[in-house]
Structure 1
Amino acid sequence: MSSLPKIKAIVLDWDDTITNKDTISLVAEAAYLTKPEFPQPWSHFSEVYYSNYKLYTSNWGERTTFKDELEFQKGLKQVELSSVNEYVGLQLFKDISTKSLEDQSSKVEIKPNFFQIFQKLYDNKIPIILLSCNWTSIIMDKIFKDHGFEQHEHFKIITNEFEVEQGILTGQVLENVSIRTGADKVEHVHKILQDLRKLGINDGVYYIGDSSTDVLPMLETDYGIVIGDGSATKTLQRLNINYDEGIKGDSKIKHIKNWNELNELV
């Protein structure tokens, strides 16, 4: 069985990949802690999303090819934006401070051994790109800073962002970056690969994620790592894409249980 080469560059998902749980609910919670009398409960925005998702998926049969999944993910963007447009329209996040979001960072649980692996990558100046469909980088950035890691030329966070003026959210979202689906991640991975080539990195690029949103972008890099028991493995099976359990084997996609399994690749 073949062994994987050392990591020369890495693209990471955030929610359920680095964290134990999805953290978007903590972003929303910051708004309700600040504005407890906000007329619409969080369930309202969830219902907007799920009703649109149900309608959208009802028009699709079984997806068994990369092309089908890519088209599905492209169309899914309008579903994802339905809840975004709703909270922007109702101004859920207007007048929320960045500090209230930073304070939520203490509630985030990071997967075991992640920061040990990250420390090695960071110290070795391996390009690290955190690519997420989350709504803001504020919580992520605070957690990394609390662990002694600043964003710089070798470490960047790319995700959706709120518009901020003097430490206060305006209620709007910035439109220069929009990462809502796996298809959006594919586009960004293409840009990342172009930038890495300019640095002379033409191989050894890894993508690590956990969900169906991560399957398409990890197929674009040299190697894909599925971590944990999210929806990614089911999606790979549905698309008839081979993967190995553990980091040994001939498939370009690997499934691991925890971050410690990547020690020998760093």
Structure 2
Amino acid sequence: MYRPVGLLVCDFDETITQCDSTCEIAKLAYEKRSRQGKCPRSDKNKSIDVCPRPWSHYVKSYFRERKEHIKRWHETNSNKSLQDHYEFLKTLGEVEMISMERVEGDNCLSGICSSELFEHGRMLKKRDGAAEVLKRYLPKHRGGNDSRHLYILSTNWSRDMLFGSLKDYVGIEKERIVSNDLIFDEADTATGKLERNVLSAIDKLKIFKSLEIPKGTMSVYIGDSDTDLPCMLEADIGIIMGSNCALTETCEKFGIEVVDGLVGKINMKDFSSKKGCNKLFRVQEWKEILDSKLLGD
């Protein structure tokens, strides 16, 4: 019999949710300003409180700069080993920082309240079975069993939105959600500034390695992209959710074995001497995790 799972850590966007939800934060801010009659309006008086440009401008700028950064890095750096790839993943945090600074400078996300983000989070569409699997895993911890810990580890920009998405459906505590976040004033209104906590895959890895694995148990990490790869390889069991093409190519390049499915695919060797064992499991839906009984009955 293998060790029970004592530490379960999950990515959020496109792992638990159907789509990336960061843009939903901007949607809330833009729509609220529009309802209040603040935007759109012209900049005839050169006011410093002008309305930001359409959100599509910031999205396009981000992806253009990310593409250019990747091209430059590969032209001047080696990418022959997994460690080289980790160095590359670390530098992607620079692109995230530039994007955040641009959004802050143009005051894109100001004006929304944490309660509005929480309520909007409740409406985010999740992958089928995600909430059920996480809820079934969590109750034993809530009942006083300290051998089970669930964390959400995300590069999303709103902890309140993630909490709203999971609190009622899963029962997770807000303290167990680690992400970037909006900064609020005394009136609980977003200032437009962002708290930077998780900018890259390497930030995720540092946080994951700091989490406690209860004695006699093992760790599982579930993610969907390259940003989750270091954590998936660090965990006793790493699970890929879905078929991200870029992640698949990375695994193939660096000799990381990807086993499709969980049911009947795990043996005792997968739970021992994990360090240095480049093996991940891939599922297409959360039901496969439930059926495997990896997280318990």
- 1:83-141 per-position Cα deviation (integer Å, ceiling 9, x unaligned): 11011111112222223322322441111111221122111212001000000111111
- Residue 67 of structure 1 aligns with which residue? 83
Aligned residue in 2 for 1:132:
154
In the alignment, which of 286, 291, 295 is matched to residue 259 of structure 1? 286
Which among 135, 158, 161 is matched to residue 178 of structure 2? 158
User: 1:4 Cα deviation (Å)?
Assistant: 6.7
Relative to structure 1, is the Cα distance of residues 150 and 75 closer, same or farther in structure 2, using a 3 angstrom cutoff?
closer
Residue 46 of structure 2 corresponds to which residue in structure 1?
none
Query: How many residue pairs end up in the alignment?
Result: 255
Structure 2 CA distance, aligned partners of 1:12 and 1:50? 25
Mark the runs of 5 or more structure 1 residues left unpaired by the alignment: none
Distance 1:214 1:257 in 2: 16
Residues 135 and 170, structure 2, Cα contact 8 Å, conserved in 1: no
Q: Which one of 194, 197, 201 corresponds to residue 173 of structure 1?
A: 194
Amino acid at match of 2:182: F
Whether the aligned pair in 2 keeps the contact of 1:63 and 1:238 (CA below 8 Å) is no
Q: Is structure 2 residue 133 aligned with structure 1 residue 117? A: yes
Contact 2:12 2:153 in 1 (8 A): yes
Return the letter of the residue paired with 1:18: I
Q: 1:226-265, aligned counterparts within 5 Å?
A: 226-230=240-244, 231-247=246-262, 248-249=265-266, 252-263=279-290, 264-265=293-294
What SS does the corresponding residue of 1:45 show, helix, strand or coil? helix
Question: Is 1:89 paired with 2:89?
Answer: no
| 1:13 maps onto 2:16 in alignment | no
Identity of aligned residues (%): 25
Query: Quick check: 1:102–1:139 contact (8 Å CA) kept in 2?
Result: yes
The aligned counterpart of 2:61 is 48
Q: 2:120 and 2:178 mapped to 1: Cα distance?
A: 19
2:229 corresponds, among 200, 207, 215, to 215
Partner AA of 2:204 in structure 1: K
What does residue 224 of structure 1 align with? 238
Q: Which structure has the bigger radius of gyration?
A: 2
8 Å CA contact 1:226–1:232 kept in 2: the answer is no
What SS does the aligned partner of 1:184 have? helix
Of the structure 1 ranges 234-243 and 79-88, higher mean CA displacement relative to structure 2 is found in: 234-243
TM-score for both structures, normalised by structure 2: 0.79
Equivalent residue in structure 2 for 1:147, among 157, 162, 169: 169
How far does residue 64 in structure 1 lie from its aligned partner after superposition?
4.2
User: Of the candidates 75, 78, 98, which is equivalent to residue 94 of structure 2?
Assistant: 78
